[in-house]
Structure 1
Amino acid sequence: MIRNEVFSCFVFYGVLLVVKMYILAIITGQVRLRKKAFANPEDSLRHGGLQFYREDPYVERCRRAHVNDMENIFPFLFLGAIYSLTGPSLAVARLHFLVFFMCRVLHSVAYLLALQAPTRSIAYTFAQIPCVSMALQILMAVAAYA
């Protein structure tokens, strides 16, 4: 399967997206430590006391950015894997994967920097276009068998 150029392209962008998710998780953890705002009492006790068992707005922003990635990247990984098996052209598939990847990077940056209007919304919306396109193409490819 790795010899399938479209699938290899998908794997490349999929791995980059997973690495980006890990980076957001690391950022969240580092901000938690810097802000001394822990989600669990045992963590706060280890880092200075129960007074640090609390929420911090920026820690929550980082956490929400990570959760948002999971809500969007996991479906992309499913759709992209199946789409890769339907025989799309490499150029079109690469465009789907690249647009999604770039929009998700922009979305995360906008989320972390609190750039809501219109950057984050535009990034989210444009990232959905390749997902909808892949879903429709998958449905068309399997409709004859349903």
Structure 2
Amino acid sequence: MIYDGVCSCFIFYAVLLVIKMYIIAIITGQVRLRKKAFANPEDAVRHGGLQFCRLDPTVERCRRAHRNDLENILPFLFVGAVYCLTGPSLAMARLHFLVFVLARTLHSVAYVFAMRAPTRSLAYIIGQVPCVSMAIQVLNAVATYA
């Protein structure tokens, strides 16, 4: 199958985001092991006993970072894919995708490493700008058919 430049660009950045989500998931698992804080009794027993079936603030921070990715990246993947169908210029599409990826990466780093405020909030807001822009452009493109 042959993809146009915008579609290929979107696929590239979308896969980077999925890889980033996998990395956060792996970090969460590694922090669980290091902190001996397991969510399930069978995992705790396997790693030392039921006393390790507990919550840990660092593990929870990683889990929140991962959950935040799910809440933001999944909508981006949908809106971005539909946006590609509206025929945007490659330069504008690339800018939207790149800004989102960089903002989400900074957001994850700020979340996992508990960086000083407002780093995480600013990264979140910056990441929302291309999403809102793409959504508005999609709605404008299909409004005449609704």
In the superposition, the TM-score normalised over structure 1's length comes to 0.98
Q: In the aligned structure 1, how far is the partner of 2:116 from the partner of 2:91?
A: 32
Runs of 4 or more, structure 1, over 6 Å off, are none
Matched residue, 1:128 = 128
Q: In the aligned structure 2, how far is the partner of 1:26 from the partner of 1:53?
A: 19
Q: In the aligned structure 1, how far is the partner of 2:64 from the partner of 2:110?
A: 12
Post-superposition CA distance 1:61-93 (Å, at most 9, x none): 001000000000000000000000100000000
Matched residue, 1:142 = 142
1:95 aligned onto 2:95: yes
- Give the alignment of 1:108-123 within 5 angstroms: 108-123=108-123
Matched residue, 1:49 = 49
1:113 maps to a residue whose letter is F
1:126 maps to a residue whose letter is I
1:107 maps to a residue whose letter is H
Give the percent of matched residue pairs that are identical in Structure 1 and Structure 2.
Answer: 75
Deviates more, 1:110-119 or 1:6-15: 110-119
Q: In the aligned structure 2, how far is the partner of 1:125 from the partner of 1:144?
A: 30
Matched residue, 1:62 = 62
1:25 aligned onto 2:25: yes
Q: In the aligned structure 2, how far is the partner of 1:94 from the partner of 1:108?
A: 21
1:38 maps to a residue whose letter is F
Measure how far apart 1:3 and its partner are: 2.0
- The answer to whether the 8 Å contact 1:24/1:62 transfers is yes
Measure how far apart 1:15 and its partner are: 0.2
Q: In the aligned structure 1, how far is the partner of 2:18 from the partner of 2:65?
A: 14
RMSD over aligned CA atoms reads: 0.8
Where do 5+ consecutive residues of structure 2 fail to align?
Answer: none
Post-superposition CA distance 1:89-109 (Å, at most 9, x none): 000000000000000000000
